[in-house]
Structure formats: C-alpha cells, structure tokens
Amino acid sequence: MDTRNFRIAMRVASVTAMFALATAAEAQHSSTHKPTTKASAQPMAPDGRRTGFMLGVYTMAAPGVTLTGDDVDGTFKTNFGPGAGVMAGYAFNRTFSGFASVDVAKQGISDSDIGGNFGLRHIELGARANLPYGSATTVPYLTASYGRRALGARVTDDFEGTEYDMRLSGGMFGVGGGLEHVLSPTLAVDGGLAVAFGRFSHGDIDGESSSLAVNGTTSIRLRIGMTWRPAPRRS
C-alpha cells in the first residue's frame, strides 16, 4: 500500500513539474516577444518635410485683373471670384521640391457693354523651398514658378446684341508663399498666397487671332486646401 501511494505521489509530482516547466517556458516566450509587439504598434510621426510624391487639391479666391494698353479701349477689368485647382509634386530632399499645378477662377466683368463670366486659368511648373523655421508638422515655404495664364468666356455684346468667344492669354512668372500643417502621416492642410506677373499678349476674339499691345497685369490667388502623401514605409 505504501509502495502504491509512493508511485502515485511520484506521478503527480512529475506531472506537476512538467506543467510548471511548460508555464515558465510560455511566460519566457511572451516576455521575449512583447517589446517587439509594442515597438511595431507605435504610430509613425507626422513629418511635413519628408521626401517623395505629393498631391494637393485646393479652393481659392482670385481678385479681378485689370488690362490696359494700346489695344484696349479704356480699361478692361474683371471682378473678384472663387475657384479651385490641383497640384502634383515631388520632394527631392527635406528642403526643395518641384511641382506642377493648374487652377481656374470664375470672374464677372465690370464692362457694362459686355456680359459674361470669365475663367481665369493658371498653368504652372515651379519649385518650392521649405524655410528653416517652424517644425516637422508646421512648415513655412516659398515658391517660384513659370507658366501661362488665360482669360476667356463666351461673351455677349449688349450694344450689338451678338455673342462670340473671347480668349486672352500669355506667359507668366509667379512667386508665392504659404504654410503647411501636417494632420497625419498622409494628410496636411495647406494655405498660401500666389502672385503672377506677365502680359495677356495674345487674343482670340470672335474667331480672329492676333498679338495684343497691352501692359503688364498682376493676378493674385488666395488658396487653402489639402495635401496628400503616401504613407511612409516602416523601417
């Protein structure tokens, strides 16, 4: 009877020891992998100065433009109007990037003899330089660009009662600045001011094309929008 009880006690002790060893091994395995799990779960920090592709959309407000010159009867002036645009760019490093953009604003006209709503369009290729101020999430910047502007509409001559297409265009160069604030690793809100200089030196009016002798004209755009960047890769 004593021998039998001893054997039973040894079996219970063996099972208990095996269970204890298995529990200890599992605890060690969990403690070994737990820091790795926590590290991989940490979110990526937002950074508005990182390199790579970017895509932006924005709304804008554009004050009217004024045209004068030898080929303009008096003064031709459009009114303040809203618009929208899109931008694609690539950051080569944390300071410099290149971009291409196009935007259109809808503007009325102040001339009482002509009726219609004009579209003021800018097409640009440019460069952006991040300034060494702010932080990784709030980035001030300057821009410079070159491109073309166009001002066109289907207009009505109220004096003669006729309709015709009118389009004025010309080269431009622009400067600007803004502030980008990063909301997440992929999205940022971007606001700024752009000023374009040049001449609307070519006209397509009622089917006839010609060069125009006009003075230089400034166009201004106030814009605010969102910029998207692909999610950064985890190291």
* Residue ranges making up the domain that contains 90: 52-228
Cβ contact 234:62 at 8 Å: no
Q: Is it the case that residue 103 has pLDDT exceeding 80?
A: yes
Are 81 and 128 within one domain? yes
Residue 233 lies in a domain: no
Are 179 and 96 within one domain? yes
- Give bridge partners of residue 181 from the DSSP assignment: 138, 189
pLDDT for residue 207 = 84
Q: Using CA atoms, how far apart are residues 163 and 161, in angstroms rounded to an integer?
A: 7
Residues 6 or more apart from 15 whose CB is under 8 A from it? none
Are 101 and 128 within one domain? yes
Are 184 and 118 within one domain? yes
Are 68 and 35 within one domain? no
Judged on CB neighbours under 10 Å (0-12, 13-18, 19+), 137 is: middle
Reduced to 3 states (helix: H, G, I; strand: E, B; else coil), residue 118 is: strand
Residue 141 lies in a domain: yes
CA 15 remoteness from chain centre: 66
CA 44 remoteness from chain centre: 21
Q: How many domains does the chain have?
A: 2
More confidently predicted of 38 and 60 = 60
Segment 201-219 shows an average pLDDT of 92
pLDDT, tens digit (0-9, with 9 covering 90-100), for 37-54: 444 445 677 888 999 999
